[in-house]
Amino acid sequence: FGSVNRNRATKQAQCHFPAIFNFGDSNSDTGGLSSAFGQAGPPHGSSFFGSPAGRYCDGRLVIDFIAESLGLPYLSAFLDSVGSNFSHGANFATAGSPIIALNSTLRQSGFSPFSLDVQFVQFSNFHNRSQTVRSRGKSQPLTHSLTHSLTHSLYR
């Protein structure tokens, strides 16, 4: 039994992802909805991060623990692009996001307008823009590593 666990741990240790691209709702929103519609009310992550973090919880999320376990920094919300570094991935999740698009506003239904299909379109545009910048010769180390990351990433 002990050797089975050691083999499993060795195989897990060999798994390496240079980036994470996350999609979802409030269970993994690291600031997307706050970026789109204004700062979340307290506790907004201030107990763990020491200042408002745009979250609808007061601590880390499962996606944060996944990033930690892979040795990666916490993911920045894609919608919070000011000061963000997407070389290790991006988080497209926003609180209240439905799986399918709704024909209502956030105020009417309480659901985010960033449904899963919208998040995928955001990711596709992000991917295409990254490739365009690189192909135009404006490739800097960040765009080069991002292009590599896009093909070898963990998609959640």
**pLDDT, the chain, mean:** 80
Q: What pLDDT does residue 1 have?
A: 44
Q: Identify whether the C-beta of residue 18 lies closer than 8 Å to the C-beta of residue 88.
A: yes
Domain ranges of the chain: 15-155
Show the tokens assigned to 79: 């919608």
pLDDT digit string (tens) for 82-130? 878 888 999 999 988 888 877 755 565 667 788 899 999 999 999 898 8
pTM of model > 0.85: no
Residue carrying the six token digits 């240079």: 18
Strands of 20-22's sheet, edge to edge?
Answer: 89-91, 20-22, 154-155
Identify the sign of the CA torsion 42, 93, 33, 114. Answer: negative
Among residues of the chain, what percentage have pLDDT more than 70? 78
Give the whole-angstrom CA distance, residue 32 versus residue 42.
Answer: 16
